[in-house]
Chains A and B, each alone.
Chain A
């Protein structure tokens, strides 16, 4: 229900950098209902395991997810995702010391 993932790719810079670690959880009482602004990891049939920000919930309980960058590959390209594809919501984020604000 919880797992550690490591970020690859640049679409969430400056909030998430390649090499950062995140702990994602799917335990309902721990994460509550998914809402806009949440960072979620999910499995996409074409793009594999991805991490993006929830921009909006849309009909049929689907999520419109986006990255920070203009060229991010996200729901603007592959459409909304089903909540059944979620690996979990990010509940902890670890950056390398060099990237600390």
Chain B
């Protein structure tokens, strides 16, 4: 509750950032981790729905469902974190000027990440993935790397933006 309040205040007042840089700087940034996180969210939602269709609602059901939910929570939060790190440490003001859709997109991802935790609705996970894909496209454009869209070679086999190397 308090943290959410602070986040809202931060949106208004934009508190000063204090850097706890862990950089050599290594310069290793890649949105693929966030993309895999978003894919995992969708996968967990699918597994939750598959499990819900079964007739057995015993202890094993609760055990499996809890695990799916826990993993969904973790990956949705990690997706937000990965995007925050790239946005905070790699994205520079000139990038945001060059791509005016970037900052609203990051904000959207953070909101969608929370939404994906709050719901078991597949479309929430799909929206998160698509927003992260759009972020990846801008990220690679900034790096001067072409991208392609291809279906992930594993369930849930949704479209992912990859660098076209």
- Residues of chain A touching chain B, judged by Cβ–Cβ distance below 8 Å, are 3-13, 16-19, 21-22, 24, 41, 47-52, 67, 69, 71-73, 87, 94-98
Within B26-62, the residues touching A (CB, 8 Å) are 26
B3 within 8 A of A: yes
Contact A41 B18 (CB under 8 A): yes
- Residues of chain B touching chain A, judged by Cβ–Cβ distance below 8 Å, are 2-3, 6, 10, 15-26, 73, 77, 81, 84-85, 88-89
Contact B88 A5 (CB under 8 A): no
* Total number of residue pairs linking A and B with CB closer than 8 Å: 96
Q: List 19 A-B contacts (CB under 8 A).
A: A6-B16, A7-B17, A7-B18, A9-B19, A9-B23, A10-B21, A10-B22, A18-B81, A21-B6, A49-B17, A50-B20, A50-B21, A51-B19, A67-B22, A71-B23, A72-B22, A73-B23, A87-B18, A98-B73
The 10 closest A-B pairs by CB, nearest first: A11-B22, A51-B18, A10-B22, A8-B88, A5-B18, A9-B20, A9-B21, A12-B20, A69-B22, A11-B20
